[in-house]
Structure 1
Amino acid sequence: MKKWKAFNRWLHLWLGLISGIVVFIVSITGAIFVFNKEISAALEPWRFVEVQDNAVVPPSVLLDSAMTYVPGVKPTGLTYDGKEEAAAVGFWSEVEGNQVFTAVFLNPYTGEFIQKRSPVGNEFNFFQFINNGHRTLWLPQHIGTRVVGIATLIFSVLLISGLINWWPRTFKNGFWKNSFRIAWRATSMRIFYDLHNVLGFYVLIFAFAIATTGLVWSFDWFGNGLYYLTSGGKQKLEHHHPHSNPAHGPIADNDSIPAIDRAFYKALAEEPDPQRIYITPYPEDEEDAIEIVFYRDKGKFYSHNEYFFDQYTVESLRIDGDRYVDAGFGDRLEMMNYDIHTGAVLGLPGKILAFFISLICASLPITGFVMWQKKRKITKMQRRSVR
């Protein structure tokens, strides 16, 4: 048992030293990014519009208007983001070999242009910068995402080894006082020890949930394995959707109303009061379907329903798991992944919790490194005294 404990302490130390800088950056940027929507709303009041009694303009109008501000590029997404917020049309384009995202904001009730946001040129987007650091460490994507993924995997192991280190030999003789409280009046070494061990214990479950949901995006094998376990042994399918029938093309040519508008109002009739709507505006090939996603809870992504329509006939199409209420546990958990990662699954209290958890996670490499340095210094002094 003593050898196992010693090996676990050794493993915890060196894995922590290897991953510490990355864990700090990912954690601190994650803490900042938690409230990006709230802070952006406060700093950018132009995102809001006056709520009107009349209905929003159809998708085709917003798309046509937005394309005049990003010529030569086809829109990749359209969002109606709440009754009091501007609609946004997104464009992905390639600039100097890099993929660049541009958003055009419009009044959803009138189609009037409000703002165009793009990282091209001298424009700096603070939260995009923070998000890039969180996901790629500001490195090239194919390198940064891999480094972040490996560091997150190591951090998950560190949480487990840290719990083993924290676990007391006995539950008597001041166990509660020594294991759950920070001795602020003790020596600096003991304070750093408590900041590392005690705070690490308190955030363990939440930090593990954040790390696990991050690993789902980092490694396909991890996401597939988690889905297999939570779905009762089912294999995770790649993003799939029903297919349109190209033979119906002549039908679409004879209709004066764009198919995307007909699909939009057809879906809206089934779900008249969504909190957010996302539309994939243009099918990539002749067999793709029109996809419209309705989000039911403001500020959350997991509770949503997907509607698919034949791009020629606007016939409703269905697939397994396209409605949150009908999905199995594994599919629901997958839908909740982003909201769990950011704390949004519990609303504002959850985001506040995720903020503090991330701050504590960022502090763990620092307190661990300080303890290691102090121990090295003490060891050197002891060796000198022996000489």
Structure 2
Amino acid sequence: MSEKKKNKTFKYWVGRIHLWLGLISGLFVCFLGITGCILAFEREIENVTQPYRNLAVQNKPLLSPTALKKIADRALPNKHAHSITYQPGKSAQVVYYNFDPEYYYIVFVNQYTGEVIKVKNMNDDFFRIVIMGHYYLWLPPEIGQPVLTTATLMFVVLLFSGLILWWPKNKAASKQRFTIKWNAKWRRVNYDFHNVLGFYITWIIIFIALSGMVMGFQWFAKSVYFVSSGGKTLNQFEETYSDTTRNAKLQLNASAADQLWKSYLDADPKFNGSLDVHVPENEKASIEIAKNPDPETYWKADYSYFDQHTLKEIEVKHVFGKLKNATVADKIMRMNYDIHVGSIAGLPGKIIAFFASLIAASMPITGVLIWIGRNKKKKKSATAAQ
């Protein structure tokens, strides 16, 4: 068999794989691309359409975390607060959520006056609904997430098989691989759209797809960490507890969470990022404080954990600890969500992620049109031969 024949046979089977994986995963890929476009500018849209999130900075003292929690508790009785978030120019957010029974609320409070601005049931929030679809297809997580992540895995294979099919045979053919022939018939334009734009977005969408797989498949997340860390095991998060064996507790005028919060403010009074205070749910729980200098992303946040009885900082060895202690592998895990939505590169990154997701959503459609066109052409050729 000649070398030319081998190459043709190889591309033929790559084409078959590309076709059938595309037909199987096409609807899911289209869905993920469209919902990804909607979520790309979630924060920007929320800031415009939900004005209660914004609050002018005032020259007044801030209410403490426990004070805000008490105010929010009156608005949501019999619910357990998870955290209180402060950010200059934003309303304080007291977050409530639980899985048994399931609920997710945010109480927006004026951190200067204590006025409750909005009690929002996040299960009715538009973007929350879209996120649940994007992550779980609005099915139970144990069902929906594997389905969508498997479709994402198929899409990754489609990206690489598409590159093989796109690869030009010679220099003359390469001239047609980088531009769309807009003045041609619609079938040729559709073909070029699928191949040319597919080639360009591959180098962007591959990061979106792989970061989605990190969130969807634990085995994949562990594999990425294993490779990037040089053979270490991923410890993404573990519960951190206070030292409840101590009999003596601090005698404080305010709660331990308030004391820690105030120490953070005193240490950096001009801090312009976000500060999350996670109040302990019981005597065993620790106090978590997350200080993020860039609230538009997540990976730069410093997570510190303190014994609620002694205020002594608890050393942790998982990914979500102090940024200065994070290894390269830890930072890759921390950056994963920001890579997925494009915010890792700021507004330009979100714009790129938006258009890449939009084009990715179109790939199954243009691909099916190519397949239908080829089938019609084959039938016409068979009829003419008869």
TM-score normalised according to structure 1 size:
0.93
Tell me if 1:110 matches 2:110.
no
Match for residue 233 of structure 1?
231
Distance 1:285 1:217 in 2: 32
For the Cα contact (< 8 Å) 2:191–2:370, is it kept in 1? yes
Distance 1:74 1:250 in 2: 26
The alpha-carbon distance between structure 1 residues 279 and 105, as it changes in their structure 2 partners (threshold 3 A), is: same
Query: Aligned in 2, Cα 1:341/1:119: closer, same or farther, shift over 3 Å?
Result: closer
Matched, 1:264 2:261: yes
- 1:90 aligned residue: 95
The answer on 1:312 being equivalent to 2:309 is yes
Q: Secondary structure at the match of 2:182?
A: coil
Which SS does the other structure have where 2:222 is aligned? helix
Q: Identity of counterpart residues, as a percentage?
A: 36
Q: Relative to 1, partners in 2 of residues 1:262 and 1:248: Cα closer, same or farther, differing over 3 Å?
A: farther
- 1:212 and 1:113 map into 2 onto residues whose CA distance is 41
Distance 1:187 1:285, change over 3 A: farther
1:282 alignment counterpart: 280
Q: Contact 1:283/1:290 (CA < 8 Å) preserved in 2?
A: no
Deviation at 1:119, TM superposition (A): 5.1
Amino acid at match of 2:311: V
Conserved 8 A contact 2:242-2:283? no
CA contact (8 A) 2:240 2:286 kept: yes
Counterpart residue number, 1:190: 188
Q: Please say if 1:65 is aligned against 2:62.
A: no
- Using the TM superposition, give the Cα deviation of residue 256 of structure 1 relative to its aligned residue in structure 2, in angstroms: 2.9
What residue number does 1:139 align with? 139
Q: CA deviation at 1:12?
A: 0.3
Q: Is the 8 A contact 1:294 1:305 kept in 2?
A: yes
Pairwise CA distance, 1:257: 1.2
Q: Would you say the 8 A contact 1:75–1:282 is kept in 2?
A: no
Q: Give, in whole Å, the separation in 1 of the partners of 2:65 and 2:26.
A: 47
1:293 correspondence with 2:290: yes
RMSD: 1.8
For residues 192-271 of structure 1, what are the structure 2 equivalents within 5 Å? 192-240=190-238, 242-252=240-250, 254-271=251-268
**Secondary structure in structure 2 of the residue aligned to 1:248:** coil
Cα distance in 2 for partners of 1:98, 1:374 equals: 52
* 8 Å contact from structure 2 (residues 280, 308) kept in 1: no
Q: For residues 229-267 of structure 1, what are the alpha-carbon distances to aligned partners after superposition, in whole Å with 9 as ceiling and x for unaligned? A: 111211111413654211335414x33311111121233
Letter in structure 2 aligned against 1:128: R
Q: Which residue in 1 is equivalent to 2:4? A: none
- Matched AA of 1:57: L
In 1: Cα distance, 2:105 partner to 2:240 partner: 29
Measure how far apart 1:279 and its partner are. Answer: 2.3
Deviations 1:186-223 (Å, cap 9, x if unpaired)? 22222111111110110112100000110011110000
Note the C-alpha offset of 1:169. Answer: 1.4
For residue 362 of structure 1, what is the aligned residue in structure 2?
Answer: 361
What is the aligned partner in structure 1 of residue 62 from structure 2?
56
| Pairing partner for 1:27 from 33, 37, 54 | 33
AA aligned to 1:12 is H
Q: Which runs of 4+ in 1 moved over 6 A?
A: none
AA at the equivalent of 1:291: E
TM-aligned CA distance change 1:184 to 1:237, over 3 Å: same
C-alpha distance 119-313 of structure 1, shift in aligned 2 (>3 A): closer
Match of 1:159 in 2: 159
- Residue 368 of structure 1: how far off its partner (Å): 0.4
Distance 1:333 1:184 in 2: 40
Alpha-carbon separation, structure 1, partners of 2:189 and 2:93: 49
Instruction: Give the counterpart letter for 1:85 in structure 2.
Output: K
Residue in 1 aligned with 2:3? Answer: none
Number of aligned residue pairs? 377
> Does residue 15 in structure 1 map to residue 15 in structure 2?
no
Task: Find the residue that maps to 2:348 and give its secondary structure.
Answer: helix
Local SS of the residue matching 2:183: coil
1:93: how far off? 4.2
Is contact 1:295–1:301 with CA below 8 Å preserved after alignment?
yes
Over 3 Å counting, the alpha-carbon distance change for 1:235 and 1:290 in structure 2 is same
Distance 2:385 2:101 in 1: 60
- Contact residue 249 and residue 310 of structure 2 kept, 8 A: yes
Q: Using the TM superposition, name which of 320-329 and 32-41 deviates more.
A: 320-329
- The structural deviation recorded for 1:274 is 4.6
Which residue in the other structure is 2:385 paired with?
386
Judged with a 3 Å threshold, the aligned counterparts in structure 2 of structure 1 residues 259 and 107 are, in CA distance, closer, same or farther, namely: same
Give the whole-Å Cα distance in 2 for the aligned partners of 1:26 and 1:142. 18
Unaligned runs of 5+ in 2: 1-6
**Which residue type is aligned with residue 194 of structure 1?**
D
User: For residues 262-321 of structure 1, what are the alpha-carbon distances to aligned partners after superposition, in whole Å with 9 as ceiling and x for unaligned?
Assistant: 1212333445415112222124561x3211111111311111111111110111233346
Task: Check whether the contact 1:166–1:197 (CA below 8 A) recurs between aligned residues.
Answer: yes
On the 8 A contact 1:107/1:114 being kept in 2, the answer is yes
Aligned equivalents of 2:315, 2:267: Cα separation in 1: 14
Tell me how far apart the structure 2 counterparts of residues 41 and 28 of structure 1 sit (CA, whole Å).
21
Asked if the contact 1:180/1:198 (under 8 Å) is kept, the reply is yes
**CA shift at 1:377, angstroms?**
1.3
Which range moves more in the overlay, 233-242 or 183-192? 233-242
2:30 is the counterpart of 1:4: no
Equivalent position amino acid for 1:217 in 2: M
Output one character per residue of 1:148-197: Cα deviation in whole Å (capped at 9) or x when no partner.
Answer: 11101111111111111111112x1252x201000111222221111111
Which region of structure 1 is more displaced relative to structure 2, 262-271 or 334-343? 262-271
